[in-house]
Each structure stands twice: as C-alpha cells, then as structure tokens.
Chain A
Amino acid sequence: MKAGGIALLLLFAAGVAHASGYRIDTVTDQLRSPATLAFLPDGRLLVGERPGRLRVIDAQGRVQPQAISGLPDGGLDATSSLIDVVPDPDFAQTRRLFISHMQGTTKANFLRISTARLDGDRLVDLRTLFDAKPAKPGRSNFGGRLLFLPDRTLVFSVGDGFDAREQAQNLRSHLGKLLRLNRDGSVPADNPFVQHGDAAPEVYSVGHRNVQGLAYDEVNRRLYANDHGAKGGDEINLIQPGLNHGWPLVTFGVDYIGARVTPYTALPGLAPPLLHWTPSIAPSAIAVSRSARFPQWQGDLFNAALAGRGVYRVRLDGVREVQQEKLFGELDARIRDVKFGPDGLLYLLTDGAEARLLRVSPAP
C-alpha cells in the first residue's frame, strides 16, 4: 500500500514536470493546408501550402498578406501540388530556394524538383532541376522531402507511387528511393550506384515506400529518414549510401485492405529499420534535437505524426531505441511538419484546411 502510494506520487510528480516542461504558443492560425516550413537566415519563415502557395511569416511572427508569387504550376489540382521547400545552404548569397512538387495529371504524374531565386516577394529564374521517372498514376505516396547534407548535396525522397511498389527494388527507377543531386542538378560522382551498370545514377538508397521525413544529425553524422508505411510498418531508418531498406520485400505492415504485402519482416541483405510503428502513427516529418534550449532532449528524434496526432520523441542508444514518448498529444492535432528553428525553439505545423504554426519553448 505504502509502495503503491509512493508510485502514485512519483507518477503525479512526473506528470506535472512533463506538463510544465514546455510552453506552446500559436504563431499563426491563418494557414491553409500547409505542407512544410523553412527558416531563412534573415529571420523570416516560409510556409509552403499544398495548393502551391508560399506564405511568409516575418521575424515578428506576422503572416504577410501577400503570398510569394511565381511558384511552379504543377498541373495537378489544388490538393497535392507543393510538397517541400528548402533554402540553399548559401541562401544569403544565392537567395535560391529548392522546391519539390508534383507535376502532370492524375493519370500520369511525377515528382519535380525546381529551383528559383527569391526576389522580394516573388520567385524569379525558375528552373527545373530534376524530374523523377517513370510517371505513375494517382495521388498517393509522393515522397518529396528535401534535405541538404553538409557537403551541400541535396538528398530527397521519391515515393513508390502506391501502385508501383515493386519499383522500390528496381535500381533503374527513381520510385521508392532516396536520391542525391548537386545543386546544379548534376549527379555527385560519389553516388553509390554511379558505376553500377544501368542503375539510375541519382539513387542514394533503395527500398523505401514513402519517406516524408529526412533529418541530419551533425553531431554523430547520421542521416535519418522516417518512412510512411501502409497499415502498420511506419519506420525510422538510418540511411547510408547504397543500402537497401527492403520495401516491399520486407515490412511490418500489411496492405490497407488487410492483405499481406510480404510474408517477411526481415531478409538477408536488407537493412532493418531502427524501429517501426505498428499500428501506424503516419509519420510526416522528422527532426533531430541539438537545441541548447532543450537540454533534456539532446540527440532525440522528433517524429511528427498525422494519424498519431502528436510528435513521437525517440531516444536512441547507438541503433537501439531506449525511450519513446508521445509529445503534444494535448493539441489533438495531426502534425504535418516539425523543425527546430535557428532560435533553438521547436516549431510545429498542424495539418488541414485551417492549420496553425506553433512554437514550443521551455517552460520558464
């Protein structure tokens, strides 16, 4: 009884500490179907909205009434055009943005990476950097997450397009892969399959379904990806050039209708995930915490979740998960993007037609 009482007291104390560990402020609630947020070195914040709008939030947190003009017109309707936006690592000099979006029709579409220069509130000098091949039908599994590595190469995900899942194992296809390019669209000479016969030279890693989160940890030089599984089988993967992560030969999930995608959760030669979520949380983004503002979260992975309605914080010891906690469940919101800002604070983008940008800071 006494032990039970102490346990109850500890549980209560932990709950209070947790609840008072951070504070959430709303930066804006004026967003419409946002997909991604990006920080510019001048203190401004960009929010890409799916219908193909780029909104600007100034350093004081005010949403500019005028969206940035000159975005590429993807051709698909308003539900699924713009996916991600990242500034050039040398944005202060080049003022260039890199944009991923879908291009084509519902019957045949593909991921396009475009780049343009931000001139005031408009994009100029819009160029196509890359088109993923082959085209695929439908509006599922686009991938499209962009990330610059420290060597200034651009890594990005191409989804398997749902119907083309076997293409994730085909080295000649861009579908179901992570790809890597130089900023001018050329292929880095040290890409893993450059010397590999008829493989697509852009391929960086193989066997992904729909990677929506990419994050680089500069401290231990690791690239993490979270892959949006089918019914179950959401994964965090540790990415290394040339590794095959197995989709659809191995997965912990099943198809949405209940059929097995594969009998296997592991096979020789296929890299296992660091962890998987079954049932699904529907991961939409991933961030690594190296913020001095949150010393208690050093090195932890923050996985934004749509169906999971929160952010799943994962602590690793090497490649082993040692702790996991769902954060911000009190918002009861689908989270579309999660990023640590240059101020060290954590920014969350909620999902949907009426969405918010939230800032998480340590409790005073």
Chain B
Amino acid sequence: MNLRKHRPLILSFLLAVLVAALLGSVIQTQFNLAALQAMGAPMPAEVRLRTTGQDLIGFTPAYAGIVCAAFLVALPVGAWLTRRLSRTLGPWVLALAAVAGVGIALQVTDAVAPMPTLIAATRSTAGTAAMLLGAAVGGLLFALLRLRRRERAA
C-alpha cells in the first residue's frame, strides 16, 4: 500500500474518528451529569465544563478505539454502497453506515465486557441515539472530505 498516495484518505478517516469520538465524549458527559442532577446534585457551569474536559481526556481514547474499529468496517462498506447506489446520496449513506457501525460496535462491546453496559450514557435509548448522532457527524465529515478531494482532482 502506497502510504503517500493514500495519505488524504487516511487523514480523512482519522479526522472522522476523532470528531465522532470527541462529540461522543461530550454527549456522554452531559447524560451522566443529567442523571446526577436528577438525584439533586448541584451542577454549576464550571463543574460541567471541567467534567466535560476531564472526560475528553479520560474517556475519548477508549471510545475512539471503539469508533475506529467500527469505522474501519462501516465507512468502506458505506463508500461501496454509495458507488453502487447513488453518489448524490453519498454523505447520508456514509452517515448511516457510521451510525450502524458504531451501534453494532457498542452491542459487541457490551456482549464481550463483563458488565452489562460499558458506557453509562448508552444505558438509555436517548443516550445511545445521541452518541450515534456523533458517529453520524463523523461519517458525514468523512464523506464531505472525500467529495471535496474528488472535486479538486476533477
């Protein structure tokens, strides 16, 4: 594999993973803090910001690993589908592929891990949906970066 030739593709992929993981981290923090607030915990903006920042450092690396594994399968499948179906729908197909990929990866992680649900925010449907929205943004970003690249090349 010619790394130099594929560098833009790899960079687009890594950027997509990073954005999905960072968004997922910020989202899961808000769900966890909401659960604490519902139990009566105070949540001033400063505490919310600090905790969100701590999770960006503490949670993102592991979650990025899950997203990366999911995207490695989902985005190529999405790109293949785009070529077969419709190029104009490409970004949305890739967004959907990213959602499906991360959704399945979360299920597999929970099936393998000893605890019922590894990521607390994904215990609820709303939390899972919000995390998957982050994955969708990652898929969309990947599609747009690739599209722009293709337009430049044309």
Contact = CB atoms under 8 A, between A and B. Distances in A.
Given A137-B116, A140-B116, A257-B119, A166 B29 contact: no
Contacts of B62: 257-258
A140 B114 contact: yes
B115 A258 contact: no
A259 B115 contact: no
B58 A254 contact: yes
Interface in A112-167: 136-140, 161-163, 165-166
A262 interface: yes
A201 to B, nearest CB: 21
Interface in A240-268: 248-249, 254-264, 267
B32 interface: yes
Interface string B40-62: 11100001001100110011011
Contacts of A248: 36
A205 interface: no
Interface residues of A, number: 25
Contacts of B47: 263
A165 B38 CA distance: 13
Contacts of B121: 259
B118 interface: yes
**Main SS class of interface, A:** loop
Interface in A257-285: 257-264, 267
B28 A163 contact: no
Contacts of A139: 114
Interface residues of B, number: 32
B116 A260 contact: no
Contacts of A140: 114-116
Nearest to A163: B116
Contacts of A237: none
15 contacts: A137-B116, A139-B114, A249-B36, A249-B40, A255-B120, A256-B113, A257-B59, A257-B62, A257-B118, A258-B58, A258-B61, A259-B29, A259-B119, A260-B51, A261-B32
Interface of A: 136-140, 161-163, 165-166, 169, 248-249, 254-264, 267
Contacts, number: 73
Contact of B59 (A162, A166, A259): A259
A255 B119 CA distance: 8
Nearest to B33: A263
The 7 closest A-B pairs by CB, nearest first: A138-B116, A258-B58, A259-B59, A263-B51, A163-B116, A140-B115, A162-B115
B41 A262 contact: yes
Given A255-B120, A262-B36, 19 more contacts: A140-B115, A163-B123, A169-B39, A248-B36, A249-B36, A255-B59, A256-B115, A257-B119, A258-B55, A258-B59, A258-B62, A259-B29, A259-B119, A260-B29, A260-B32, A260-B58, A263-B33, A264-B41, A267-B41
Given A137-B116, A163-B116, A264-B41, A257 B32 contact: no
Contact of A259 (B32, B39, B113): B32
Interface in B15-36: 25, 28-29, 32-33, 35-36
Contacts of A262: 32, 36, 41
A267 B40 CA distance: 11
B111 to A, nearest CB: 11
A169 B59 CA distance: 25
Contacts of A136: 116
B48 to A, nearest CB: 8
Contacts of B32: 259-262
A162 B38 CA distance: 18
B39 A249 contact: yes
Nearest to A165: B120
A254 B55 CA distance: 10
B152 to A, nearest CB: 38
B107 interface: no
A138 B61 contact: no
B115 to A, nearest CB: 5
B28 A259 contact: yes
Contacts of A137: 116
Contacts of B114: 139-140
B55 A260 contact: yes
